[in-house]
Amino acid sequence: MDKNRERPASPKIMQNPSPSEGVKSQIVEPRPEAIAALPADWHAAGTMGASVLHAIARHAAKRQVLRSAETGSGKTTLLFSHLSAEHKVFALEGDDGSITVVRNSPLLNSSTVEFVEVPTHVTLPNQRFGNKLQLVLIDGPHGYPFPEMEYFYFYPRLDKDALLIVDDIHIPTIHRLYEFLMEDEMFRLIEVVQNTAFFARTESPLFDPYGDGWWVQEFNKRRFPFGFKRTTLRRFRGWVGSRLPDRLKRAIKRSMGEKC
């Protein structure tokens, strides 16, 4: 046997604190590369890259993760099952068996995971998190307004210095949420790995989820009044156009290459 050849990743024992006071549970934590080594087609809905999984493990190791949650399910579920004492997964089982493959994986620590198989926009409004969350991954439905709805129900539950991970920020609907978080005082960008953004909850006061206060949010303060000049110009052009002779309007359109 070649001694220089890298040996397969072996599990390591971690002492994870239990939510119950004075109780600790001993779990087996596989190294992230063991999860990342699963084949690309292991999960039909796509999977996180190895560098993102390593980043999750690295940042989670700097915190005491007692409770966590994610929307969507996959390799991250396997990893979170060993990083958190209580992990909730909000996802739907598709025809491809995307949740079943996770449940059946020998890398899953099922004792720490609860699957909530209901659309997030249905279950999250009624979900009661008894305690603060130290880690949240938003990776559920990507169409508007679902990512922002998930954020709305999660952000009041984030603990100080909690990790908020937003995946697929290259998708426009999610990139808008990423841009907002980049400027919001409640969050600090830690890093972006591939298409996944890592934020930390700051000590800034919680933005009232039942009020308004749009004028205190940095994203609005830096852009208000948005589109004022453009709207004024459009109205001016309409006012001028209504007073020009038709022959002159046709001549202007021809000069601009427009059809008359």
According to DSSP, residue 71 is labeled E
**88-111 mean pLDDT:** 88
**Both structure tokens of 77:** 């579920």
Residue of 179, 177, 178, 201 lying closest to 188 (CA atoms): 201
What is the mean pLDDT of the segment spanning 108-133? 90
From 29, 83, 81, select the one nearest 56 (Cα to Cα). Answer: 83
- Fill in the amino acid letter for 41: D
Angle at Cα 73 formed by Cα 50 and Cα 122, nearest 5°? 145
**How many angstroms separate the CA atoms of 174 and 178, rounded?**
6
Q: Which residues of 200-238 are buried (b: 16+ CB within 10 A; e: fewer)?
A: bbeeeeeeeeeeeeeeebeeeeeeeeeeeeeeeeeeeee
Question: What digits encode the pLDDT tens for the residues 173-187?
Answer: 999 999 999 999 999
Residue 206 DSSP code = P
Query: What is the per-residue pLDDT for 53?
Result: 94
pLDDT band at 70 (very low <50, low <70, confident <90, very high): very high
Q: Which one-letter amino acid corresponds to residue 200?
A: A
Q: What is the pTM of this model?
A: 0.76
CATH number of 12-221: 3.40.50.150
Where along the chain do its domains lie? 12-221, 227-260
Q: Higher-confidence residue: 223 or 80?
A: 80
- Answer yes or no: is pLDDT of 8 > 50: no
d(CA 81, CA 136): 13
The stretch 245-260 carries a mean pLDDT of: 67
The string of DSSP letters for 173-205 reads HHHHHHHHHHH-TTEEEEEEETTEEEEEE-SSP
Read off the pLDDT band of 156 (50, 70, 90). Answer: very high
How much is the average pLDDT of 40-63? 84
Supply 184's token pair. Answer: 């919001």
